[in-house]
Amino acid sequence: DYELCEEWGHLYPVPREDLINLHREHLLHLLEMGDMEKALQLLQRIEDPGVCLAISEQSLDQHLNLAASHFLADYLTAHFYSSLTTARRNEIQALYIGSKVLLTLPELSRGNYFHLSSRPLLMLEQLLMNMKVDWVAVAVQRLHQLLAGQEIGFTVGDIDNLLSKYAEKALNFPFTLKEKRS
């Protein structure tokens, strides 16, 4: 049905907003089905870059599954980096990096942290609070690799500060230990 509507749009004038809605719904359908190849082909068929940017951004804001979010964040940074505002660029790159960090977690646990995929530092903090130290070690290593030479609103120093803060809290005892006397 989407392809028929797309053909119809080539034959008859369709308002820009309706065209954006059609392509966005088609893209969301393809991403939900996990067909990234057809999703990429759809985006490449759209001739107007402004329409393509609007469709990609609106689809990303739908907070789809991990693979779809990763795909859209990657597509937007690869094709529309200079068209995005600095704040939006940082947001999209944070989502991309957050999705990469999520992929380092065990598959069964990813759903518990997916809502934090656009906020990697908060995800790291949540892992620390949940005492997932092994996962944090892998996530921090991945973050160090991903942040090399990038500016996305936080730095490796922010990660180190977060780790220091929680290390200090782990060693902080709210009471004094008393010796037992016989």
pLDDT at 46: 85
- pLDDT for the residue numbered 4: 80
pLDDT classification of 40: cutoffs 50, 70, 90: very high
Rounded percentage of the chain residues whose pLDDT exceeds 90: 19
Q: What is the pTM of this model?
A: 0.75
Across 128-144, average pLDDT: 88
Give the model's confidence band at 56: pLDDT under 50 very low, under 70 low, under 90 confident, else very high: very high
Task: Give pLDDT, residue 29.
Answer: 92
Q: What are the residue ranges spanned by the domains of the chain?
A: 1-84, 86-171
CA-closest candidate to residue 123, choices 108, 140, 107, 106 = 140
For residue 180, the model assigns a pLDDT of: 65
Percent pLDDT > 70 in the chain is: 92
pLDDT in tens, 84-116: 888 888 888 888 888 888 988 998 888 898 888
| Averaged confidence pLDDT in the chain | 85
Mean pLDDT of 129-155: 83
**Per-residue pLDDT for 9 more than 80?**
no
User: In this model, does residue 182 exceed pLDDT 60?
Assistant: no
In angstroms, the CA 157 to CA 31 distance is 35
Residue 173: the pLDDT is 66
- Size (the chain), residues: 182
Residue 179 has pLDDT above 70, yes or no: no
